[in-house]
Amino acid sequence: MSGGQAAVEALRAEGTRHVFGLIGSATMEMFDALYDVDDVTFIGVHDERTGTHMADGYARASGGAGVVLAGQNGPGATNLVTGLAQAKAAYSPVISIAGALSTAHQYRDAFQEVDQQALFAPITKKTWTVPSADR
């Protein structure tokens, strides 16, 4: 089972029926896994900022968690900030997922490298980095 498949199965187990986001290479395994399931609908957006606000609105209207998936690890992840800050301020249950660099490239000033833990810690209830599918 790939990391993307594991993440999608975890979302399904929690009752997720909609995922908002922008398709990109950093999270392609998740998009592949979403393509293979019939009970979760992917709603594409033109920008992750829009996706976070849609996930927030969905959470408020449905009472369930809104889920947003960033397509790229650098700019895609940073585009989540405003919407996630608003969701936290409103106590909306929003789950955001962004890809990251492989551990071999971290802390080497790699292309689109962003310290996501530091970025999201002040504007989320909890932030996790999953370094491998085994976790």
> Are 33 and 69 within 8 A, CB to CB?
no
Taking the C-alpha atoms of residue 26 and residue 3, their distance in angstroms, rounded to an integer, is: 12
Look at residue 107 and give its three-state secondary structure.
Answer: coil
Helix ranges restricted to H, 3-135: 3-13, 28-35, 48-62, 75-78, 81-89, 116-120
> Which CATH homologous superfamily contains domain 3-123?
Thiamin diphosphate (ThDP)-binding fold, Pyr/PP domains (3.40.50.970)
70 or 28, which is more confident? 70
pLDDT tens digits, residue range 94-112? 999 988 655 665 666 655 6
pLDDT tens digits, residue range 58-81? 999 999 999 999 988 778 889 999
What pLDDT was estimated at residue 114?
78
Helix axes 28-35, 3-13, angle to 10 degrees: 60
The domain limits of the chain are: 3-123
